[in-house]
Amino acid sequence: MRARTIVAATATALAAVAARDLVQKKHALLRNFPVVGHARYLLETIGPELRQYIVTSNDEERPFSRDQRTWIYASSKEENNYFGFGTDNDVEHMQGHAYLKQRTFAGPLPDLHDPQSALPSAKVLGGPRGRAGAFRPASVVNISAMSFGSLSGAAITALNEGAALAGAMHNTGEGGLSPYHRRGGDLVLQIGTAYFGCRDEDGTFNLDKLKQVVASAPVKAIEIKLSQGAKPGLGGMLPGAKVTPEIAEIRGIPVGKDCASPSRHTAFGDVDSMLDFVELIAAETGLPVGVKSAVGELGFWEELAALMARGDRGVDFVTVDGGEGGTGAAPLTFADSVSLPFRMGFSRVYGTFAEQGLTDDLTFIGSGKLGLPENAAVAFALGVDMVNVAREAMLSIGCIQAQKCHTDKCPTGIATQNPWLARGIDPASKANRAGVYLRQLRKELMKLSSAVGVAHPALITPGDIEILNGDYEARTLAGVYGYKDGWGELGPRLADEITALLAAGPAAAQEPII
């Protein structure tokens, strides 16, 4: 009797679905193939999971392959992150793949068996311009800008505590400085076009509020965001439904009302006024001040370098974000087709400053899939002094690349404000994983540096790396990207000074090396 009831109920349900499919007009497939047509939509829904776990090879998937994710997961868990039985890459035919050229002999190098608690920057941030708060970053690997709002409070907490464990810095993102950023990690405070946390009611910039925010937390530097790789030249919209009392208080906006971020700044309108804005903030806070931008037209960078060459004004650092970057939601065409990829964009920016003889006067930071050792090594060879990691840091705390960041339905509770999903994150354990990942990436960079025969990633040169550009053919990194040398006369003595810096450790004197 029970079986009959179940069968009858099932048949009734299927009949109801079939009747609905036949009369609805939204989906032609379901009108023509009632009931069974739903299988197509089910497969489409779980398609990413099928491809991720069943269909694609270890090195096929994007934006991060299974091999790359496996390395990050294993590293963050302090598990064996080695791979056995050789590479599964088609090494002679991988267009664009980078190969580092090891040296047979080299001078004294750091002990690679050391846990490498820190790997400091070769430059003092803000030192060349004499900022009162100039400092040498203790880590060349830091956590990139991800706002509270785009990520959950639990995720921000884990990342900040992880940064503290690794002696790294944590960029707040443009969404303001939240309580979740105040968990011990040193901060880079990002100011976006909406000036969240330091704005008046009409959305204009408020210097006094900025100073109050800076005084309330361990802010080490301030980054003015001009654009980002995911959606350069495009503002954002935070729907009113997501503007909770907590987010409203942090950002300084009304509760429950749509909040639009403009596509451009209102505090300045050209390079000249931007430099005035930079100098004002630096003078009032004492902190190093820089800009973050994706790379499009070069006129902006050429004018910035030309004005800085006069010597009276300038930024302390430049963060270049690649067009392949982006941790959250963006229109497909912007993610795919607006702004240059990191290597192309950064090379052009660095070359612009090199032509003016300015590369020693500021720190270069790169972001855009640089949380993998080989990508980071290429970035250092092109001239970066530090790298920022975002999606890789998310992977270290449990992200599974579900690519649902824009839906507020992140299954791991990272890119969501849903309390039920966010509760899945245990900040303490995930913080440890983030910290371990950052340390492990630094250690891998030291291994690569040692293989090349240098003491620090900053000493890797474009001549040490070749890019495969066709079957059995390769060109040096300098040849592919038009690298322009920025070291000048300082290059010959740099190796000895960086080796001394590593020997001194994070407590090294604050005088600039370069």
Query: What 3-state class would DSSP assign to 47?
Result: helix
Alpha-carbon distance of 240 to 260, in angstroms, equals: 10
Lowest mean pLDDT among 51-55, 82-86, 140-144: 51-55
Going from N- to C-terminal start, the domains of the chain cover 2-68, 139-451
Kindly tell me if the per-residue pLDDT of 288 is higher than 90.
yes
Tell the burial category of 505 from Cβ atoms under 10 Å away from its Cβ (0-12, 13-18, 19+): exposed
pLDDT, residue 316, reads 98
pLDDT, residue 350, reads 95
pLDDT, residue 248, reads 85
Kindly tell me if the per-residue pLDDT of 180 is higher than 90.
yes
Kindly tell me if the per-residue pLDDT of 473 is higher than 90.
no
Q: Which CATH superfamily is domain 139-451 in?
A: Aldolase class I (3.20.20.70)
DSSP letter at 51? I
| Tens of pLDDT, residues 188-237 | 999 999 999 999 988 899 999 999 999 999 999 999 999 875 565 566 66
Query: What 3-state class would DSSP assign to 12?
Result: helix
Mean pLDDT of 9-17: 84
C-alpha closest to that of 57 among 100, 98, 94:
94
C-alpha closest to that of 167 among 138, 204, 140:
138
Would you say the C-alpha torsion 86, 90, 91, 92 has a positive or negative sign? Answer: positive
Mean pLDDT of 293-298: 91
| Tens of pLDDT, residues 113-126 | 454 557 899 899 99
| Tens of pLDDT, residues 441-465 | 999 999 999 899 988 899 899 999 9
Mean pLDDT of 164-179: 94
Helix extents (H) in 36-112: 38-45, 47-50, 66-76
| Tens of pLDDT, residues 375-404 | 999 999 999 999 999 999 999 998 888 777
Residues contacting residue 469 through CB under 8 Å, at least 6 positions apart: 95, 96, 475, 480
- State the residue for tokens 């039985």: 85
| C-alpha torsion 64→69→70→74, nearest 10 | 150
Alpha-carbon distance of 466 to 424, in angstroms, equals: 43
